[in-house]
Copies of this chain bind each other. A is one copy, B any other.
Amino acid sequence: MKFIEKDFKEEISRRIEKIRSELRASEASAILIGYNANLYYSAGRFFRGYVFVTLQQRPLWFVIKPKGFEPEEDLVYVRKPEEIPQKLLEMGYPEPESIALEENDLTYSDIIRLKALFPAAEMKNGSVVMKRARMRKTEWEISEMKEDGRHHIKVYGEVKSCYRPGMSDLEFQIEIERKLRLEGSLGVSRVSGNLMEINLGSVISGNNADTPSPYEFTMGGAGVHPTLPVGADGSQIKEGETVMIDMNGAFNGYQTDMTRVWSRGEISALAHKAHDCSIKILRRLEKEALPEVPVRLLYEKAMELVESEGLKDYFMGHMSQVSFIGHGVGIELNELPVINARSKDILKSNMTLAIEPKFVVPGVGAVGVENTYVVREDGLENLTPFPEGIEKL
């Protein structure tokens, strides 16, 4: 088996150039990558080991496990990271003046161990380098996300057939999970950081939408156990309530983030008004989210619409509100940029954004739509096109 397939080498080169560009911006002369999502980004596969990228010399792949890849020039088998300095010396790589390590992703012990390989080098934050390098996707990545979106949409088309009257939110979720898995979902949500634990997503109905959660998701939910207090709480889906479906695909190395709402019977006029407001926000941002626009403007434009409709008390939660309306998405569900009022980022073409203006209406539940978009020269391209109205179950 080849470590990097021939037709993928060009794509990897494009990514390495993005990493180099961010190394320069961070004034780092090299990076040693060891975090799973970044290994996947820089090698096209997860493996146990490290990717070493300098500003000019050829990148090297240090592999611990698995054994058995075909030998190639830049693939170096090691038993442990401590062998890396000697290998670099042998291959004519000078010790870097500064080394970027993934300070926000690897453990303290890992970083201390890796830093010791470069005793004279100044340490830079490689998590920032990689998060920023991954922010603007290559066309190859976007085509992966489109494929993920197609699977995601297909399963959402089967959501209604998963429902049987009398079901709890959790039973409903389990049937949707099965459809996701049969459609090719890998069965995990890849998220960054220990404040984002979740199974395959969130199905919340009625007032459970208003239960604050310790996690950093837009919506809360009590969950069914204090060790994972988020999402479905096992209560029956009742007449006059909504069910918000925010389930994750992860059909390939990439993810799209997508939310739709169903209801049991009629829901209140306020809930409809809020849902329509969410759609209006998306339509507006789809046109106005152009390259070079500051990200914080997306938040401001959304808030403007919300306030003009008098819906501020329900926006992004009710009992407990969050202060962002979307985020980057790709290999991980929570990437850069974060769409909030404090953002200093500027929109650039090929950024991918999950935009999720949502409302919690007491007595009814959560409403609103979430799509995953690519920033294009003429506005946002929707990777998750699917009817946005509230359909009855």
**A residues engaging B (CB < 8 A)?**
35-36, 40, 44-49, 64-68, 101, 103-112, 125, 127, 171, 174-175, 177-178, 181-182, 184, 186-188, 190, 194-195, 197-200, 212-215, 220, 223-229, 252-253, 319-320, 331
Contact of A48 among B105, B195, B319 (CB under 8 A): B195
Structural contact, B107 and A104, CB atoms closer than 8 A: yes
Which residue in chain B gives the minimum CB-CB distance to A66? Answer: B212
Structural contact, A66 and B199, CB atoms closer than 8 A: no
Structural contact, B67 and A320, CB atoms closer than 8 A: yes
Bound complex: CA of A219 vs CA of B116, how far in Å?
32
In the bound complex, residues from chain B placing their C-beta under 8 Å from that of A187 are 177, 199-200
Which residue in chain B gives the minimum CB-CB distance to A251? Answer: B225
Structural contact, B65 and A212, CB atoms closer than 8 A: yes
Structural contact, B107 and A226, CB atoms closer than 8 A: no
Given A35-B194, A108-B103, A320-B66, residue A227 in contact with residue B252 (CB < 8 A): yes
Bound complex: CA of A36 vs CA of B106, how far in Å?
16
Bound complex: CA of A317 vs CA of B109, how far in Å?
29
In the bound complex, residues from chain B placing their C-beta under 8 Å from that of A105 are 107
Structural contact, B186 and A228, CB atoms closer than 8 A: yes
In the bound complex, residues from chain B placing their C-beta under 8 Å from that of A111 are 108
10 A-B pairs with least C-beta separation: A187-B199, A45-B226, A66-B212, A108-B111, A227-B253, A48-B214, A103-B108, A174-B181, A65-B214, A104-B109
Contact of A66 among B40, B44, B220 (CB under 8 A): B220
Bound complex: CA of A112 vs CA of B68, how far in Å?
38
Bound complex: CA of A227 vs CA of B110, how far in Å?
21
Most buried by B among A198, A200, A214, A320: A214
Structural contact, B103 and A212, CB atoms closer than 8 A: no
Structural contact, B108 and A66, CB atoms closer than 8 A: no
Bound complex: CA of A48 vs CA of B104, how far in Å?
17
A-B contact pairs, 24 of them (CB 8 A): A40-B227, A44-B226, A45-B226, A45-B227, A46-B228, A47-B229, A64-B214, A65-B212, A66-B212, A66-B220, A67-B212, A67-B320, A68-B212, A68-B319, A101-B108, A104-B107, A104-B108, A106-B107, A175-B178, A186-B199, A188-B198, A226-B253, A227-B252, A227-B331
In the bound complex, residues from chain B placing their C-beta under 8 Å from that of A174 are 178, 181-182
Given A107-B107, A227-B186, residue A214 in contact with residue B47 (CB < 8 A): yes
Chain B nearest Cβ from A361, distance in angstroms: 20
